[in-house]
Amino acid sequence: MKVLVAVKRVVDYNVKVRAKADGSDVDLNNVKMSINPFCEIAVEEAVRLKEAGTATEVIAVSIGDKACQEQIRTALALGADRGIQVETEGSVEPLVVAKLLKGVVEKEQPQLVILGKQSIDGDNNQTGQMLGALTNMPQGTFASEIAVDGDKLSVTREVDGGLQTLSLNMPAIVTSDLRLNEPRYASLPNIMKAKKKPLDVYSPADLGVEVTTHLTQVSVEPPAERQAGIKVESVDELVDKLKNEAKVI
Amino acid sequence: MSTLVIAEHDNGSLKGATLNAVTAAQALGADVDVLVAGADCGAAAEAAAKVAGVSRVLVADNAAYGHQLAENVSLLIADVGAAYDNIVAPATSNGKNTMPRVAALLDVAQISDIISVEAADTFKRPVYAGNVIATVKSSDSKKVVTVRTTAFDAAAAEGGSATVEAVDAVHDAGISAFVSEEVAESDRPELTAAPVVVSGGRGMQNGENFKLLDGIADKLGAAIGASRAAVDAGFVPNDMQVGQTGKIVAPDLYIAVGISGAIQHLAGMKDSKVIVAINKDEDAPIFQVADYGLVADLFEALPELEAKI
Ligand SMILES: Cc1cc2nc3c(=O)[nH]c(=O)nc-3n(C[C@H](O)[C@H](O)[C@H](O)COP(=O)(O)OP(=O)(O)OC[C@H]3O[C@@H](n4cnc5c(N)ncnc54)[C@H](O)[C@@H]3O)c2cc1C
């Protein structure tokens, strides 16, 4: 069974991103970039399936400019076998990413595609579901546990009310939530090995996809700032403030 | 122009999130219809018909929609939605699961988690864990939108008199099946709609200690939430996680106990009206957003607070 994992290069989760003063875009000068944390969880899950003998090959795909090869190498260092970059410029919308991934799915014919549930830059939470619609594959989103059982995939999902378990026909799509696993750290030897693993580069045209724009970012702004608060000295003072100043209890 | 709102419901009743989505839909300036897709969902449809400002309620009542399987429901929404200019759903786990699939079927973008409608084609939405608010404009003829419920008031649940019409189309993709669910039963208000939320973090040390929050929550009619660290450590279930990648809350009062205030946690609660932080580390970042900060050991502060409120 082949597993395809999608990974995205994003601003590191520790960075507090700000809007540029002129409101034209966010300021990403000299900020640390990393693999999206949910994508890292996706890679880990695929690698565990391979280690368990369930998967035979793990392919990591990323869509972006040349810099995203760094994140593909991260996935290879974590245990993916080979990489695919679909080379694009600027930001690409989830719908187009899904179309490009569909092109890769058609080439590779994986039985399972694992993606992160959302990327922590755009916070869209869309790509896996869109890929599902375009390929007519079922989806197990926000997954906290998966198990392959013959040609079915059991997926436990984190939903608003608690947990839900579905049975999906394979090939299927999974999007990872935080509790799916705890990703390993890549060891130095594996980082070295990853440099030699194969990495193919395609253009959108190779996949027959036109990069279209449906949404334009008009402007960005900082969120409303909160007024600085105060420290209270005691529980008594806290209760008094909540009752008589804030009037919320 | 017309707008279709996808109802959030449990077949027997309409969920509050639908009311917030209706308000967002009204801001688009068109007639608002509501689609109730479910199994034995007549009661939810009746409730939807009473919502103020709704013109028509469309009911797709079939076993195929009973568990909101995205594969089936998205086909239905794309079919029914073909006649509409806008399709709007609350950004609940169902909305997030289904709406991107709908958008891809219709070959349009999906706009996630909007916090305001600036014009019929222009929306504001938080990105980068809410550190930035982006204004985005859609060039698609059809807008498929999910709504951050805390950003829109609830439409009145009573006062409307919409017509109720059945949708007979059955879309069963036949590629997925519901197996089981584990739903947390609680007498407390729903986390995303509660007027007061008391949340515990890693500082609570274990699940047992979360009981220290119960008495306070009882007295205040509060829901109980948690940080990711508390969920990951198994203190409490996943549906209690507040944050960028958990639930978004904006109560009148949010009390953060033993929570450091990571960006990802703040993203889920910093629109609360009044924030209280109880933390023993006076430099914890949570104090930067707290209206009232108490530097204290939570194991001493919580029993005292419970006794004094
Ligand atoms: C992709 C991604 C998504 C994430 N999504 C979320 C999310 O949705 N929600 C979320 O919450 N986090 C999220 N996180 C995690 C986030 O970065 C933090 O790790 C997490 O919020 C920390 O939880 P905490 O504040 O409970 O724990 P800690 O940061 O460990 O803080 C514990 C606090 O408790 C205090 N404390 C300890 N003992 C006591 C005591 N006896 N009395 C008083 N205070 C005490 C300490 O001083 C400390 O400030 C995400 C992270 C990533 C990478």
pLDDT of residue A129: 99
Return the CATH number at B269. 3.40.50.1220
Q: Are residues B104 and B205 in the same domain?
A: no
Do residues B158 and B220 share a domain? no
Tell me which chain B residues have a C-beta less than 8 angstroms from the C-beta of A219: 134-135
Contact state of B110 with A95 under an 8 Å Cβ cutoff: yes
Contacts of residue B71 in chain A, CB cutoff 8 Å? 132, 138-139
SS3 assignment for chain A: CEEEEECCEEECCCCCCCECCCCCCECCCCCCEEECHHHHHHHHHHHHHHHCCCCCEEEEEEEECHHHHHHHHHHHHHCCCEEEEEECCCCCCHHHHHHHHHHHHHHHCCCEEEEECCCCCCCCCCHHHHHHHHHCCCEEEEEEEEEEECCEEEEEEEECCEEEEEEEECCEEEEECHHHCCCCCCCHHHHHHHCCCCEEEECCHHHCCCCCCCEEEEEEECCCCCCCCEEECCHHHHHHHHHHHCCCC
Q: Are residues B19 and B138 in the same domain?
A: yes
Q: Given this model, what pLDDT does residue B277 score?
A: 98
Same domain (yes/no): B141, B223 = no
Do B298 and B280 meet the contact criterion of CB atoms below 8 Å apart? yes
pLDDT of residue A231: 98
- pTM given for the model: 0.98
Question: Which pLDDT score, from 0 to 100, does residue B198 have?
Answer: 98
B185 found inside a domain: no
| Residues within 8 A of B (CB atoms), A 173-192 only | 177-179
What is the band of A228 on the pLDDT scale with cuts at 50, 70, 90? confident
C-alpha distance from A115 to closest chain B C-alpha (Å) = 14
Cα B229 to ligand 1 centre (Å): 5
- pLDDT of A225 above 90: no
Which of the residues B87, B99, B101, B282 would you substitute to probe the A interface, choosing the one with the greatest number of A C-beta atoms within 10 Å? B101
Domain boundary residue, one of B166, B188, B204: B166
Q: B26 labelled as ligand-binding?
A: no
B75 and B143 in a single domain? The answer is yes
Residue B178 lies in a domain: no
Residue B176 known to bind ligand:
no
Per-position pLDDT tens, chain B of length 309: 899 999 999 999 999 999 999 999 999 999 999 999 999 999 999 999 999 999 999 999 999 999 999 999 999 999 999 999 999 999 999 999 999 999 999 999 999 999 999 999 999 999 999 999 999 999 999 999 999 999 999 999 999 999 999 999 999 999 999 999 999 888 999 999 999 999 999 999 999 999 999 999 999 999 999 999 999 999 999 999 999 999 999 999 999 999 999 999 999 999 999 999 999 999 999 999 999 999 999 999 999 999 999
Is there a single domain that holds both residue B43 and residue B160? yes
> Looking at residue B270, what DSSP letter applies?
T
Residues 46-85 of A with CB under 8 A from B: none
Same domain assignment for residues B36 and B156: yes
Q: Is the CB of B205 under 6 A from ligand 1?
A: no
> Chain A: nearest CA to B54, how far in angstroms?
26
DSSP B296: S
What is the rounded CA–CA span in Å between residue B1 and residue B160? Answer: 20
Using a CB–CB cutoff of 8 Å, tell me whether A223 touches chain B.
yes
**Residue-level length of chain A:** 249
Instruction: Say whether pLDDT at A12 is over 90.
Output: yes
Any ligand 1 atom below 6 A from CB of B129:
no
Same domain, yes or no, for B58 and B155? yes
The number of domains in chain B is 2
Give dist(CA B278, CA B255) in Å, integer: 8
What number is the average pLDDT over the span A53-73? 98
Residue B243 annotated as binding site: yes
- Which protein residue's CA is at the shortest distance from atom 51 of ligand 1? B264
Does B184 reside within a domain?
A: no
Residues B101 and B159 in one domain: yes
- The residue range of the domain holding B60 is 2-166
What average pLDDT does this structure show over A214-235?
A: 95
A160, burial (CB in 10 Å: exposed 0-12, middle 13-18, buried 19+): buried
Residue A227: pLDDT band (50, 70, 90) is: confident
Kindly state whether residues B7 and B155 are assigned to the same domain: yes
User: What CATH architecture is A2-244?
Assistant: 3-Layer(aba) Sandwich (3.40)
Across the strands, what pairs with B164?
B57
Q: Does A201 touch chain B (CB under 8 A)?
A: no
